[in-house]
Amino acid sequence: MSVGNAQEHLWQVLEAQADDLFALYQLSQVLADANDVDELAPLALSQLVRVCDSPYAALFLPDESARGLHTVAWIGPDPDAEQQSRSGGPAMRPFASAAEAAAWFQESCGLDAGGCTSLALAIGGPMPGLVTLASPHRGGFEPHQQHLLNTMTREVARVLQLALARSELRRRQEQTEQMQADFVAAVSHELRTPLALIQASVDSLVHLPLSGEQQRDSIQDIGRASVRLARIVDAILDFSRIEEGRRQLRIESVDLAGLVEDVTRECDEPSRRRLQVLVPPITVLADPARTAQALSNLVSNALKYSSADTPVRLRARVMPGAGVACLEVRDCGWGIPVEDQPYLFTKFFRASNVRASHLAGTGLGLYIARRLVEAQGGALRLRSRVGWGTSVRLTLPLA
């Protein structure tokens, strides 16, 4: 190669590198102005298409379950992308895998195997995103173009990962704020009911000429309302102590049958008639007060969210191989929707069918119960089916 040809080749290489750097600079400037994924995806795709002169392109991201991909940006044969989305076209179709998305893109654009390239978007999580680009000519992308696309795709993935993280953080903040607002409303409602009963009973005792039996009934109403108020306050205090790590436990040998008897004795007479208890003498290692509190929450939920004419069963058995005792609380009530079950032990969370019923509750019972049981070396497991009822199993180590 002559000196002149070598210099010309060097200038071509330098010019190409300068073009690449300018393309990356433009990409970073364009993406810097976008705030969320809905803005970033089409901007990033348009920049990739412009650099490589690609006629068709698509960008896919994992769906909320992270088990499939959906199209978030599309530059396809139909120029009216908005109409295409409304009619259930390419932008609305889900895909089980990156290979399926790439094959669909190739088929939709009428391309052969060598007419397009697929680039993974490493955005974190179990499934990466995907960018597919049609080549501007039959020979496919040149090595220089492929290298540039790889570099630009990595930058797109980095920015998208940050945007997805911000979006997830914002979603969780909104969810937490909503749950806290629901908690405040629920606690207010929970407090209002016993307070109203106490106020009505006191007014009756002060202003009405009641018989001896009526006076006893009013005093009993005040007592029951006071117990209910105390339980609400205790739940809030327990939640606060658990969150701050200040919960103290006193582990000792406890007779499970006696513990269950103490819990059921606290129920009112109609509730006790619904309970079917089969708990043999079993000695476990536990904090009696905290275990009783957790069990009381489970029994209360089973009675509250099932019909008054259906039984609530408490059964216990020893599992020698595991070294634990298992206590099951089973009802024949409403059941819990499958989509709600992963969140049941989350603080402030209440199942959708419970919220729709307008029954009072703080959303702390199961959260506190699990934390108390697990702190003692036990476990809490739940199984439920809508229309069939719910079963909660509490396991504790044998003494």
Q: Are 274 and 310 in contact (CB under 8 A)?
A: yes
Identify whether residues 58 and 165 lie together within a single domain. yes
User: In Å, what is the CA distance from 108 to each residue of 72, 111, 135?
Assistant: 16, 8, 14
Domain boundary residue among 244, 277, 298?
244
Shared domain check, 280 and 212: no
Give the pLDDT confidence score for residue 122 in this predicted structure: 86
**pLDDT given for residue 13 in this prediction:** 43
pLDDT of residue 16: 46
Q: How far apart are CA 397 and CA 325, in angstroms?
A: 6
Q: What is the CATH number of the domain that holds 334?
A: 3.30.565.10
What total number of domains does the chain contain? 3
The CATH code of the domain that includes 146 is: 3.30.450.40
- Choosing from 155, 171, 187, the residue where a domain stops is 171
Query: Taking the model in full, what pTM does it have?
Result: 0.53
Together in a domain, 155 and 281:
no
| Cα–Cα distance for residue pair 285/301, rounded to 1 Å | 25
Statement to judge: residues 166 and 188 lie in one domain: no
- Same-domain check for residues 262 and 294: yes
Residues 390 and 259 in one domain: yes
Handedness of CA 233, 237, 242, 248 (dihedral sign): negative
Same domain for 318 and 205, yes or no, is: no
- Residue 266: DSSP 8-state: T
Is residue 150 domain-shared with residue 12, that is, in the same domain?
yes
Residues 134 and 193 in one domain: no
pLDDT tens for the chain, 399 residues: list them. 554 555 454 444 444 444 455 455 565 666 666 667 778 888 888 887 777 778 888 899 888 776 788 888 888 776 444 444 443 445 456 888 888 888 888 888 888 877 888 888 888 777 888 888 888 876 677 777 777 778 778 888 888 787 787 888 888 888 778 777 766 766 776 677 788 888 888 988 888 888 888 888 889 888 888 877 887 777 777 777 776 666 678 899 999 999 999 999 888 888 999 999 999 999 999 999 889 889 988 998 899 889 889 999 999 999 988 899 999 999 998 899 988 888 888 877 778 777 767 666 667 788 888 888 998 899 999 999 998 999 999 999 998
pLDDT at 278: 93
Q: Please check whether residue 69 is in contact with residue 61, taking contact to mean a CB–CB distance below 8 angstroms.
A: yes
In a shared domain, residues 205 and 75: no
| Pair of tokens at residue 257 | 């049958």
The verdict on 220 and 292 lying in the same domain is: no
pLDDT digits (tens, 9 = 90+) for 278-298: 999 999 999 998 898 899 889
The domain spanning residue 186 has which CATH number? 1.10.287.130
Q: Are residues 166 and 304 in the same domain?
A: no
Identify the domain containing residue 205 by its residue range: 176-244
